[in-house]
């Protein structure tokens, strides 16, 4: 945007409101009146009143806003994008990751690494899977690209570490098998779109 | 007993601190030592029953005068050592010693004369501030007023001297000629 | 017992210290400090005399000395600042523009 | 050879050769015609039918139709597009949606063409058939579920490799609904019909291929159906870093890519996951493809050992090495010889150097005249003195390819019979002659192919002395006229009809009997066979192998080969015995025997420098160093370091001796001083192929001429042939040297190899008495060998087999059962 | 340096003075430390937070944790600093604050009951050193207290420190004038400089409190008190948003902690003076004992300081000067004149 355009841009359409600034008193008397007004009517004692009211509300009416963080945590939005979770299949309990490596490929900070092998059941098995949280920028591409909805962002946001690079291994991120029933799945990021069934072109693969 | 201990303690401290003041190369040390010495001197005043004088010493000397010195020192570089060519010390100390001796002799003259009468004797039953007030506002009223005027004049002249275009350099003659007295404008 | 002599001797010593400072130092601020020392030594002498003779005149003088000292500081410091701004130094040897 | 013609493709004129397939002509000119099943150097398979184009208004398959002058080709029309789309849809029917875990991981041609032809819906369906994955061999993994039966693998195995180890077999799938035929495009239907019936199976009827495990089928597979067993599900192709290199196992010097990636999450050091090649232009052998993990992992520089090595080199009198080194290293060793007077000893290159010099003397050339590129264009190939299957896989591929692609013929002279060679084509004649009679073989070739007028008198007389007249009874078919009376049923008329009836008649004819053929163990009716073989043949080639270099009369043989080249208008190529024997032979001035204190480089010595990790100082293996190799196509090809090497290399030692350069590759440019090499910096060497298949790797050596000196070849002595128990110094296939042995996927053992019949006699373990030394060997059976001669491998340098054989490849030995 | 004028109080034994001194030192220093806890709690509540919670029940032992932290922290002395002055400065703040307390009567005088061993029967005076210039002494000592931040700022070779000490000099000098002048009117009424006399002057119950006679002086002293103790909204000496930490920029560990102890002791001194001079002191109020009710008075002023801190923003240095010289000082002078006129009439 050139300077000319910048100056001529139409400000009027935007919802700006001009605030009337207080008139500066000209005479000494006016100034005195302003001091008196400020002191007794508006500012000083209103300030004291507000803080006192808050204190009373806090102490006696239970309007305490603080959460004792390490001991109690606020529920986090299911859409929150923190440390990754590896999900399991709800039916069998087997982990969903098939080791396709798409997350590894798409990761823009190059922090996902996996080792795979050919297992006894002739399937691709993920032997190790790590995310370097020193590098991860939580962009969510991995969750978006995952064809099996195996990797999603979870709500674990405490990722401070003593080391520059903190790694999470597959087991750390995987839903514990006994917590399988609590595994939640939400519409939205990294999930099947609500109208996914309609979007797929019907192919006669009825067999 | 207490008086003696206090006197000697204060004496040693005062002399030491004032020596530091006079001999130190560092302005900050000098200033600090001088201020501390002032506090000690107020201690003497308390010992001598001049409570009011002691408090005035504390408030005026320690609280105001020395603070002004400190404030002025911020314009100079207080952490740097003072570089000055000191003349040969021996002569000065000899001279100083002789003067001291003479002073002591002069001051101790009253010891031998017992006939000195108190012009303004202490008022019995009045506390020190009361008696000071009584004397000050009767016999010394005119000097007191003069002193007050003098202080006022000093204050104004100090402001004018130091306040001249504080933000500008005064290194050229022209600047000095062109400077105006700037009074603080009320822009509130 | 502490007598007047003690105070007078103390006062004399302090005066000497102040005097040595005044003669010896070349830095204007140091000169001021030394002057303060001299003034205080006088104050002690006055207060002591006042105490031992039961005469309040001594204290009165001390008050006036304090007042003079305060005035001196106000004017003197203003002058010092002007000087420093002009010459960049407070050394007496440097302030020799009037020297023939 | 053939004439240059002009054809029009999509309205633009292009030049191509007459008889070239349209598809190849288009590809050479960077025009895209989709094709799945066609392989450039193989015969058209016609399985995919997707290369459909319109030539002069008719629909033809571009891979199969030859270009004619003035032909107008349209690569895509509405109908063709529809047809192609239908074909791709059919290919996608029931193809598992496992792209996420498929090892092809994006390099998939099925994916590419599906997208290219915009297949976004499916019009056809059929029940799927369950197909189990199988392992065909130690290296081949086949998933028929993913297979689209394009038959590339079978084609390459037959036409290029010559194993023909796999073929299409029945799938057992549901038959197509007949109604489909009308409902869908014709070609798509027939393609589907075939696809629905077949999968790929080993052609020997068992579950295992028992082939030479070259893995070329894996390379050409367009989908993830054929994968190396070691590679299955270990990584995605996109994670691999491709490092262009030259295979360092045999003298073919094939172009390869080492594909590397960090080993695992715990171990960040790079590891080679697989080797790939430009399979359209070059074929690898099993060693090249699977023997890649021969690197010498060294933790750090061992300065003590280095100091000792410098000391050892300073006081050494001779340096012993083999030819698995780069040209640069050879030059360094030569520099050491020139500067410090060390003797350079290299068993394999020494013989080759001598042979090469003797061969070049009469011709006035430094090098042999031809290369394998040219040989593959000929239609009659002769191999002398090389166990083709084992010595050089690429020579064998060329031999085979000539039979399959050029409708060629071949003669194979070798004392040990080889079933694979015999099976390469009907027109291949093998001579299992006695060892020592190689001269006779060359004289036979002279006799058969030489233009008599160009030969010296003496030779003509000498050759004529082998011919004699004889008679032979043959049966001949003669047509006789037989007249009979036939009654017409309708009219009742009788008619005389004359018919021609064949009749066999015995006949005596006069034949020319060649005693050389008899001597070499040729077929009785060789002259007739040869007459058939020579039909429609125009170009000839000769592959000369290692046996000749190590022959007692090597010099005479070299003279004969030279004469053959001159008088028979034959393309001649010598197969260097080891990786860089040609380079070493050209660069180094070799000595015969060691003397005094010896430093061995990958060989035994008083002080051993070794890239195998068993020496006194570690050296980098060929996949850890940069440099150039001289291959048998007389090309100087660059190779790059695929893996990290932390230790010292030879150049560091040279620096220790104050004659080093900054980098090893700084030596590349100064190779130019030597015999045909050029002054090109290593970093400027190209490494690739053009679309038309032109090789652009490094540069070709110049064949510098020199003064010719003529000497007539000597006559041969029939008594030189060896009788009795004979051992032959020959490696099992896929084993070439210590490095292939080190690789984990190559496991051919260091044993005595014998034909099945002989192995049965020998039992499990034998002691071989070389006269000077006795060695215990396990007996291994080589299913494809024939005859009584046993093979003793030389790939372990530690065993010093060369010394035991004493400069010959055949040796009379005593074998005792243990 | 306590000035103990034994001649003035002949009935007071040195044991009593010592006990009083110990009481003051022990209680005030404890309260000064505890003040930080109170402050954090009160500020937290006013911002709907919990404040310190984890050390001890309701965070009561937070002060101990803070103390341990301050004592064990590394004592950093900057390389270019004037090291001696840098080290002395914090103790000046703390020392002057406690010396000033020597002349402050917090509780009425009492005699320790006979049944207490060793100390039974000792008379404990209401004031440790009842100098007849008590109120002026306190003001003087608090004026001397300005050397703490002043020297600290000048000694640390840091430009924020210099700015901090400059502000110290300006702010303390200006507001000493206001404190002195505002206190003058009550002094005129009482006719004595001794705080005990102030207390006795107001023994007539609620209505005789000085605040009703001198409301202007009360407000002026209250405002000046905030400035003298370096409390919000006048905490320009170490205003983080402007000058990092002002005079305390380079301080760490216990030296930094001493500034705080001094500040809290000064807060208590000001609270006590306000309670004694204007709010009836430790006189009994109705049925409530004086020593009991005075605690509430002091606590109220202490709380007021926290309350104001939670409520009001900082002001600019020029506004501070403007307030001092153009509003408060003239008002104080006028107040004195009016008081004098009223007294004459």
Tell me the pLDDT tens digit for each residue of C31-61: 888 888 988 888 888 888 888 877 788 888 8
D461-520 pLDDT, tens digit each: 888 888 888 777 777 777 777 777 777 777 767 777 777 777 777 777 777 788 888 888
Task: State how beta strands D540-544 and D570-574 pair.
Answer: parallel
- Other CB atoms within a 10 A radius of the CB of residue E67 amount to 15
- Residue A45: pLDDT band by 50, 70, 90 thresholds? confident
Closest residue, chain B, to C92 (C-alpha): B84
User: Six-digit token pair at D758?
Assistant: 């002989």
CB contact under 8 A, E312 and A63: no
- E254–chain A Cβ distance below 8 A for any pair: no
Residue E327, domain member (yes or no): yes
**Is chain E in touch with chain A: ≥3 Cβ pairs within 8 A?**
yes
CB contact under 8 A, C25 and B84: yes
Instruction: Provide the pLDDT for residue E11.
Output: 59
Closest residue, chain A, to D99 (C-alpha): A100
Contact residues, chain A, for E308 at CB < 8 Å: 48
Contact residues, chain B, for E82 at CB < 8 Å: 26, 28-29, 79
Residue B181 has pLDDT above 50, yes or no: no
The answer on B15 and B76 residing in a single domain is yes
Instruction: Provide the pLDDT for residue E8.
Output: 43
Contact B59, E176 (CB under 8 A): yes
Q: Name the residue with tokens 């397939």.
A: D21
B92-139 pLDDT, tens digit each: 778 777 877 777 777 666 665 555 566 666 666 667 777 888 888 888
Each residue of D234-245: b (16+ CB within 10 Å) or e?
bbbbebbeebbb
B46, B51, B67: residue with CB nearest E146? B67
Residue D762 has pLDDT above 80, yes or no: yes
Contact residues, chain D, for A113 at CB < 8 Å: 265
D698-754 pLDDT, tens digit each: 999 988 877 777 778 888 888 888 888 899 999 988 899 889 998 988 888 899 999
Q: Which of B51, B82, B113 is the last residue of a domain?
A: B82
CATH of region C4-88: 1.10.287.3510
Contact residues, chain B, for C68 at CB < 8 Å: 147, 150
Contact D412, D421 (CB under 8 A): yes
Q: Name the residue with tokens 């983080």.
A: E240
- C96–chain B Cβ distance below 8 A for any pair: no
- Cis bond before residue E233 (omega within 30° of 0): yes
Residue D628 has pLDDT above 90, yes or no: yes
CB contact under 8 A, E48 and A44: no
Distances (CA, A) of D164 to C34, D142, D152, D226, D804: 115, 16, 12, 16, 37
- Looking at the DSSP bridge assignments, the partners of residue D591 are D345
Each residue of D314-345: b (16+ CB within 10 Å) or e?
eebebbbbbbbbbbbbbbbbbbbbeeeebbbb
Contact residues, chain C, for B86 at CB < 8 Å: 24-26
Dihedral class, residue E253 (left if φ above 0, else alpha if ψ from -120 to 50, else beta): left
Element (H, E) at D617: strand D617-618
Work out the angle at residue C97's Cα, subtended by the Cα atoms of residues C93 and C100, and round it to the nearest 5 degrees: 100
Chains touching C (at least 3 CB pairs under 8 A) are: B
- In which domain, by residue range, is B60 found? 1-82
E133-151 pLDDT, tens digit each: 788 888 888 888 888 888 8
Task: Please tell me which residue, A102 or B51, carries the higher pLDDT value.
Answer: A102
Contact residues, chain D, for A99 at CB < 8 Å: 101, 233
* Alpha carbons D362 and D709: distance in angstroms, whole number: 5
- Cα end-to-end span (Å), chain B: 59
- In which domain, by residue range, is E257 found? 6-344
CB contact under 8 A, E46 and A51: yes
Shortest alpha-carbon distance between residue A192 and chain D (Å): 17
Residues of C (8-67) whose Cβ lies below 8 Å from B: 8-21, 23-27, 29-30, 32-34, 36-37, 40, 43-45, 47-51, 53-57, 59-60, 62-64, 66-67
Q: Name the residue with tokens 């004397």.
A: B135
CB contact under 8 A, E141 and B79: no
Alpha carbon of residue A182 to chain centroid: 20
D40-81 pLDDT, tens digit each: 888 898 888 899 999 888 889 998 888 888 889 999 888 899
Alpha carbon of residue D391 to chain centroid: 9
| Residues belonging to chain A with any Cβ–Cβ distance to chain D shorter than 8 Å | 98-102, 104-105, 113-119, 122-125, 128, 130, 147-148, 201, 203-207
- Residue B177: pLDDT band by 50, 70, 90 thresholds? very low
* Alpha carbons D145 and D199: distance in angstroms, whole number: 9
Contact B104, C14 (CB under 8 A): no
C20, C47, C75: residue with CB nearest B96? C20
Shortest alpha-carbon distance between residue A71 and chain E (Å): 11
Instruction: Provide the pLDDT for residue D228.
Output: 92
CATH of region A84-179: 3.30.70.3270
Mean pLDDT throughout D667-692? 87
Burial classification of residue D814, based on how many CB atoms lie within 10 Å of its CB (0-12 exposed, 13-18 middle, 19 or more buried):
middle
Listed by start position, the domains of chain A span 11-66, 84-179
Please, what is the angle between helix B27-47 and helix B2-23, to 10°? 160
Q: E-strand spans in D734-789?
A: 752-754, 765-769, 774-781, 785-786
Instruction: Provide the pLDDT for residue D257.
Output: 94
D127, D234, D238: residue with CB nearest A105? D238
Shortest alpha-carbon distance between residue A137 and chain D (Å): 20
Contact D498, D481 (CB under 8 A): yes
Residue D526 has pLDDT above 90, yes or no: no
User: Six-digit token pair at D330?
Assistant: 């050879």
User: Six-digit token pair at B146?
Assistant: 């003069």
Residue E1, domain member (yes or no): no
Positive or negative torsion for Cα D207, D209, D214, D217: negative
Element (H, E) at D634: none
Most C-contacting residue of B3, B36, B53, B138 (CB-CB within 10 A), to test interface: B53
* Alpha carbons D175 and D49: distance in angstroms, whole number: 20
Mean pLDDT throughout B157-178? 58
Contact D273, D263 (CB under 8 A): no
Mean pLDDT throughout E278-306? 83
A48, A57, A65: residue with CB nearest E49? A65
Residue B188 has pLDDT above 50, yes or no: no
Contact residues, chain D, for A199 at CB < 8 Å: none
Element (H, E) at D610: strand D607-610
E50, E53, E310: residue with CB nearest A51? E310
* Alpha carbons D567 and D215: distance in angstroms, whole number: 40
Positive or negative torsion for Cα D17, D23, D27, D29: positive
Positive or negative torsion for Cα A111, A117, A121, A122: positive
- Other CB atoms within a 10 A radius of the CB of residue D108 amount to 19
Instruction: Provide the pLDDT for residue B174.
Output: 45
Instruction: Provide the pLDDT for residue D542.
Output: 92
A102, A113, A118: residue with CB nearest D232? A118
- Looking at the DSSP bridge assignments, the partners of residue D261 are D271
Question: Which residue, among E134, E142, E29, E140, has the nearest Cα to E92 in the 3D structure?
Answer: E142
- Regarding an ipTM greater than 0.85, the answer is no
B63, B78, B128: residue with CB nearest E146? B63
Instruction: Provide the pLDDT for residue A189.
Output: 55
- D232–chain A Cβ distance below 8 A for any pair: yes
Distances (CA, A) of A145 to A104, A124, A130: 10, 18, 17
Dihedral class, residue D32 (left if φ above 0, else alpha if ψ from -120 to 50, else beta): beta
A47, A57, A64: residue with CB nearest E311? A47
Residue B147, domain member (yes or no): yes
D123, D124, D233: residue with CB nearest A116? D233
**Distant-in-sequence, close-in-space partners of D375: CB < 8 Å, separation ≥ 6:** D381, D398, D402, D541, D543, D571, D573
pTM confidence score: 0.69
D135-149 pLDDT, tens digit each: 999 999 999 989 999
Instruction: Provide the pLDDT for residue B187.
Output: 41
Residue E16, domain member (yes or no): yes
* Alpha carbons D784 and B144: distance in angstroms, whole number: 134
SS3 string, D188-212, reads HHHHHHHHHHEEEEECCCCCCCCCC
Question: Which residue, among D54, D68, D52, D40, has the nearest Cα to D11 in the 3D structure?
Answer: D54
* Alpha carbons B94 and D329: distance in angstroms, whole number: 94
Contact D396, D383 (CB under 8 A): no
CB contact under 8 A, E3 and B43: yes
Instruction: Provide the pLDDT for residue A158.
Output: 82
The answer on B73 and B2 residing in a single domain is yes
CB contact under 8 A, B32 and E4: no
Each residue of D595-608: b (16+ CB within 10 Å) or e?
eeebbbbbbbbbbb
Instruction: Provide the pLDDT for residue D621.
Output: 92
Phi, psi of B66 (to 5 degrees): -65, -35
Contact residues, chain E, for B79 at CB < 8 Å: 80-82, 154-155, 157
Q: Chains A, E: CB contacts under 8 A, how many?
A: 38
Count: domains in chain E: 1
Listed by start position, the domains of chain C span 4-88
Mean pLDDT throughout C66-78? 86
CB contact under 8 A, D100 and A113: no
Q: What does pLDDT average to over chain B?
A: 75
Count: domains in chain B: 2
Shortest alpha-carbon distance between residue A165 and chain E (Å): 29
Closest residue, chain E, to B53 (C-alpha): E133
Burial classification of residue C45, based on how many CB atoms lie within 10 Å of its CB (0-12 exposed, 13-18 middle, 19 or more buried):
buried
Residue B122, domain member (yes or no): no
Task: State how beta strands D52-55 and D72-74 pair.
Answer: antiparallel
Most A-contacting residue of E48, E51, E232, E307 (CB-CB within 10 A), to test interface: E48
User: Six-digit token pair at E54?
Assistant: 């984890």
């Amino acid at each position: 945007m050139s300077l000319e355009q910048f100056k001529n841009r139409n400000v009027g359409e935007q919802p700006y409101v001009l605030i009337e600034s207080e008139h500066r008193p000209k005479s000494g008397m006016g100034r005195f009146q302003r001091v008196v007004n400020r002191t007794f009517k508006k500012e000083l004692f209103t300030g004291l009143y507000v803080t006192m009211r808050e204190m009373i509300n806090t102490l006696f009416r239970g309007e305490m806003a603080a959460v004792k963080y390490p001991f109690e945590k606020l529920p986090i939005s299911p859409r929150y994008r923190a440390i990754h979770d590896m999900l399991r299949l709800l039916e069998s309990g087997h982990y969903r990751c098939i080791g396709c490596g798409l997350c590894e490929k798409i990761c823009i900070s190059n922090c996902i690494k996996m080792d795979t092998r050919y297992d006894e059941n002739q399937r691709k098995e993920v032997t190790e899977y790590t995310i370097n949280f020193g590098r991860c920028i939580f962009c969510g591409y991995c969750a978006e690209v995952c064809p099996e909805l195996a990797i999603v962002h979870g709500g674990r946001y405490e990722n401070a570490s003593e080391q520059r690079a903190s790694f999470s291994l597959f087991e750390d991120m995987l839903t514990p098998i006994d917590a399988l029933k609590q595994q939640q799945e939400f519409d939205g990021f990294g999930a099947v779109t609500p109208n996914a069934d309609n979007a797929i072109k019907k192919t006669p693969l009825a067999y | 007993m207490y008086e003696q201990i206090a006197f000697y303690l204060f004496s040693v401290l005062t002399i030491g601190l004032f020596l530091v003041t006079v001999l130190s190369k560092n302005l900050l040390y000098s200033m600090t030592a001088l201020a501390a010495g002032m506090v000690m001197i107020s201690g003497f005043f308390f010992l001598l029953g001049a409570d009011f004088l002691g408090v005035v010493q504390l408030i005026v000397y320690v609280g105001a005068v020395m603070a002004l010195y400190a404030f002025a020192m911020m314009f100079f570089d207080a952490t740097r050592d003072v570089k000055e060519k000191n003349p040969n010390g021996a002569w000065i100390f000899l001279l100083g010693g002789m003067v001291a001796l003479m002073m002591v002799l002069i001051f101790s003259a009253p010891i031998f004369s017992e006939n000195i009468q108190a012009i303004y004797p202490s008022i019995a039953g009045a506390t020190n501030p009361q008696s000071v007030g009584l004397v000050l506002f009767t016999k010394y009223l005119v000097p007191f007023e003069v002193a007050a005027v003098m202080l006022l004049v000093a204050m104004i002249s100090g402001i004018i001297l130091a306040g001249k275009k504080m933000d500008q350099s005064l290194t050229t003659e022209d600047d000095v000629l062109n400077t105006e007295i700037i009074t603080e404008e009320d822009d509130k | 017992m502490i007598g007047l002599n003690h105070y007078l001797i103390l006062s004399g010593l302090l005066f000497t210290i102040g005097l040595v400072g005044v003669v010896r130092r070349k830095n204007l601020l140091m000169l001021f400090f030394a002057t303060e020392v001299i003034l205080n030594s006088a104050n002690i002498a006055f207060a002591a005399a006042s105490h031992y003779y039961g005469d309040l005149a001594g204290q009165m003088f001390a008050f006036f000395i304090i007042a003079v000292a305060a005035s001196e500081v106000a004017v003197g410091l203003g002058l010092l600042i002007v000087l420093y701004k002009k010459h960049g130094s407070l050394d007496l040897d440097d302030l020799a523009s009037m020297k023939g | 050879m053939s004439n240059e013609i002009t054809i029009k493709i999509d309205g633009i004129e292009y030049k191509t050769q007459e008889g070239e397939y349209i598809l190849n002509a288009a590809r050479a000119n960077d025009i895209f015609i989709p094709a799945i099943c066609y392989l450039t150097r193989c015969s058209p398979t016609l399985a995919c039918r997707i290369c459909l184009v319109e030539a002069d208004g008719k629909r033809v398959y571009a891979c199969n139709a030859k270009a004619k002058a003035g032909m107008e080709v349209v690569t895509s029309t509405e109908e063709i597009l529809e047809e192609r789309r239908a074909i791709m849809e059919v290919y996608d029917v029931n193809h598992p949606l496992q792209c996420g875990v498929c090892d092809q991981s994006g390099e998939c041609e099925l994916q590419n063409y599906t997208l290219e032809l915009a297949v976004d819906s499916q019009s056809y369906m059929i029940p799927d058939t369950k197909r189990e994955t199988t392992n065909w061999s130690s290296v081949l993994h086949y998933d028929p579920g993913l297979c689209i039966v394009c038959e590339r693998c079978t084609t390459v195995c037959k036409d290029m490799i010559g194993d023909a180890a796999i073929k299409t077999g029945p799938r057992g799938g549901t038959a197509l609904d007949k109604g489909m035929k009308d409902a869908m495009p014709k070609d798509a239907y027939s393609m589907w019909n075939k696809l629905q019936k077949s999968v790929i199976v080993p052609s020997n009827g068992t579950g295992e291929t028992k082939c030479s495990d070259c893995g070329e089928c894996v390379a050409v597979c367009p989908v993830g159906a054929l994968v190396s067993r070691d590679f299955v599900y270990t990584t995605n192709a996109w994670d691999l870093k491709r490092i262009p290199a030259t295979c360092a196992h045999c003298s073919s010097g094939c172009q390869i890519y080492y594909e590397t990636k960090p080993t695992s999450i715990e171990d960040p050091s790079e590891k080679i996951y697989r080797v790939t090649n430009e399979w359209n232009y070059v074929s690898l052998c099993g060693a090249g493809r699977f023997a890649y993990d021969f690197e010498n992992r060294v933790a750090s520089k061992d300065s003590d050992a280095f100091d000792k090595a410098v000391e050892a080199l300073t006081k050494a009198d001779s340096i012993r090495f083999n030819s698995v080194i780069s040209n640069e290293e050879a030059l360094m060793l030569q520099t050491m010889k020139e500067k410090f007077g060390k003797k350079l000893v290299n068993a394999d290159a020494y013989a080759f150097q001598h042979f090469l010099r003797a061969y070049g003397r009469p011709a006035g050339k430094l090098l042999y005249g031809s290369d394998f590129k040219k040989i593959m264009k000929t239609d009659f190939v002769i191999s002398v003195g090389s166990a083709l299957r084992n010595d050089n896989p690429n020579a064998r591929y060329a031999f085979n390819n000539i039979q399959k692609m050029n409708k060629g013929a071949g003669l194979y002279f070798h004392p040990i019979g080889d079933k694979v060679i015999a099976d390469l084509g009907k027109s291949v004649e093998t001579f299992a002659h006695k060892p020592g009679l190689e001269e006779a073989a060359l004289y036979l070739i002279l006799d058969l192919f030489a233009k008599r007028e160009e030969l010296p008198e003496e030779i003509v007389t000498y050759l004529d002395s082998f011919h004699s007249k004889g008679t032979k009874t043959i049966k001949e078919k003669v047509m006789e006229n037989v007249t009979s009376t036939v009654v017409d049923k309708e009219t009742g008329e009788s008619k005389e009809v004359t018919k021609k009836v064949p009749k066999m008649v015995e006949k005596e004819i006069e034949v020319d009997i060649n005693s050389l053929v008899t001597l070499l163990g040729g077929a009785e009716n060789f002259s007739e066979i040869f007459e058939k073989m020579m039909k429609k043949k125009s170009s000839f080639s000769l592959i000369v192998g290692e046996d000749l270099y190590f022959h007692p009369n090597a010099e005479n043989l070299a003279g004969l080969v030279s004469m053959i080249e001159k008088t028979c208008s034959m393309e001649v190529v010598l197969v260097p015995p080891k990786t860089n024997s040609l380079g070493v032979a050209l660069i180094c001035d070799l000595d015969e025997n060691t003397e005094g204190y010896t430093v061995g480089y990958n060989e035994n010595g008083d002080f051993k420098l070794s890239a195998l990790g068993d020496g006194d100082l570690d050296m980098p293996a060929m996949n850890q160093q940069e440099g150039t190799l001289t291959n048998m196509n007389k090309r100087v090809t660059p190779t790059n370091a695929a893996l990290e090497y932390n230790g010292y290399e030879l150049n560091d030692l040279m620096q220790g001796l104050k004659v080093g350069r900054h980098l090893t590759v700084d030596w590349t440019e100064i190779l130019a001083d030597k015999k045909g090499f050029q002054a090109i910096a290593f970093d400027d060497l190209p490494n690739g192929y053009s679309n038309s298949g032109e090789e652009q790797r490094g540069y070709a050596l110049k064949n510098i001429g020199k003064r010719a000196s003529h000497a007539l070849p000597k006559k041969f002595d029939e008594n030189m042939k060896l009788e009795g128990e004979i051992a032959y110094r020959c490696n099992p296939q896929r084993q070439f040297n210590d490095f292939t042995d080190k690789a984990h996927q190559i496991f051919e053992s260091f044993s005595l190899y014998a034909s099945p019949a002989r192995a049965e006699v020998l039992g499990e373990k034998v002691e071989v008495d070389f006269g000077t030394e006795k060695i215990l060997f396990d007996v291994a059976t080589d299913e494809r060998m024939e005859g009584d001669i046993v093979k003793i491998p030389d790939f372990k340098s530690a065993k010093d087999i060369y010394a035991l054989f004493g400069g010959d490849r055949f040796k009379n030995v005593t074998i005792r059962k243990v | 340096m306590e000035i103990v004028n034994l001649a003035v109080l002949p009935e007071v034994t040195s044991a009593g003075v010592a006990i009083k001194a110990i009481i003051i030192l022990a209680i005030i220093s404890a309260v000064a430390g505890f003040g930080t806890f109170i402050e954090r709690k009160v500020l937290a509540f006013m911002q709907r937070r919990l404040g310190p919670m984890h050390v001890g029940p309701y965070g009561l032992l937070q002060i101990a944790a803070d103390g341990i932290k301050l004592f064990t922290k590394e004592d950093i002395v900057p390389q270019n600093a004037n090291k001696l002055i840098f080290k002395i400065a914090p103790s000046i703040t703390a020392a002057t604050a406690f010396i000033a307390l020597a002349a402050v009567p917090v509780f009425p005088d009492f005699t320790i009951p006979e049944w207490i061993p060793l100390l039974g029967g000792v008379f404990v005076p209401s004031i440790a050193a009842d100098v007849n210039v008590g109120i002026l002494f306190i003001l003087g000592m608090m004026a001397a207290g300005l050397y703490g931040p002043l020297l600290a700022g000048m000694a640390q070779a840091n430009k924020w420190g210099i700015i901090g000490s400059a502000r110290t000099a300006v702010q303390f000098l200006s507001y000493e004038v206001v404190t002195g002048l505002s206190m003058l009117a009550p002094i005129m009424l009482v006719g004595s400089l001794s705080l005990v006399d102030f207390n006795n002057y107001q023994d007539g119950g609620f209505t005789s409190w000085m605040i009703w006679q001198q409301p202007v002086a009360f407000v002026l002293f209250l405002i000046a008190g905030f400035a003298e103790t370096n409390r919000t909204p006048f905490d320009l000496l170490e205003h983080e948003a402007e000058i990092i930490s002002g005079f305390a920029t380079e301080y760490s560990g216990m030296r930094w902690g001493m500034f705080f102890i001094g500040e809290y002791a000064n807060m208590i001194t000001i609270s006590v003076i306000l309670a004694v001079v204007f709010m009836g002191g430790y006189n009994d109020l109705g049925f409530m004992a004086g020593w009991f009710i005075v605690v509430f008075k002091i606590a109220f002023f202490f709380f007021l300081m926290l309350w104001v801190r939670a409520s009001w923003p900082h002001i600019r240095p020029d506004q501070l000067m403007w307030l001092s010289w153009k509003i408060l000082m003239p008002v104080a002078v006028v107040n004195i004149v009016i008081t004098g006129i009223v007294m004459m009439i």
